[in-house]
Amino acid sequence: MNKIGLWVGFGCIFGSILLSCSDSIGAPKDKKGGKMKYEVQKSEEEWKKVLSSEQYRILREKGTERAFTGEYYYNKEKGKYLCAACGAELFNSDTKYESGSGWPSFYKPASEKVIDSETDTSHGMTRTEVTCSKCGGHLGHVFPDGPAPTGLRYCINSASLKFKKD
């Protein structure tokens, strides 16, 4: 094989590796590092079309909004909080409380089935990340310092939510 053929072969292999990796950049991973399967599946380009840039950064890239800036932090209306990415019902206003954390806080999800969690060791901390079980979108974190009856504080980014008034 000549040098040109070798470089062309290398380029094809390298290019296909990049393409297969780019499909999962920002996508949630399963415990083995593979792409998770969710009821709602979209390519990253499709997510970029349906989410604002801030929602994409938070839901797909595991970002966070600045404390006390989120749309729903001060919301006191009765209703349901849905996933901004897929519309799954995540929390009810009856479980929302003022935690002083700067993010909307809830002491329990609408159902145990709507939230997935896993250990997050980013930023030099150990926390429990919570994601939407329907689409895999990053919602925020849960902490064991909430009120009764659960003792939990689901600290959720407003950009991950849509509010539906009762």
The catalytic site residues sit at 155
12: annotated binding-site residue? no
**Per the annotation, does 21 bind a ligand?**
no
Neighbours of 44 (CB within 10 A): 15
Q: Which residues pair with 119 in a beta bridge?
A: 128
User: Residue with structure tokens 């399967």?
Assistant: 37
The residue behind tokens 């064991």 is: 144
Sequence-ordered list of residues with C-beta below 8 angstroms from that of 11, at least 6 positions apart, any chain: none
Find where tokens 């150990």 sit. Answer: 126
Pick out the residues of the known binding site. 83, 86, 132, 135
Pick out the residues of the known binding site for Zn(2+). 83, 86, 132, 135
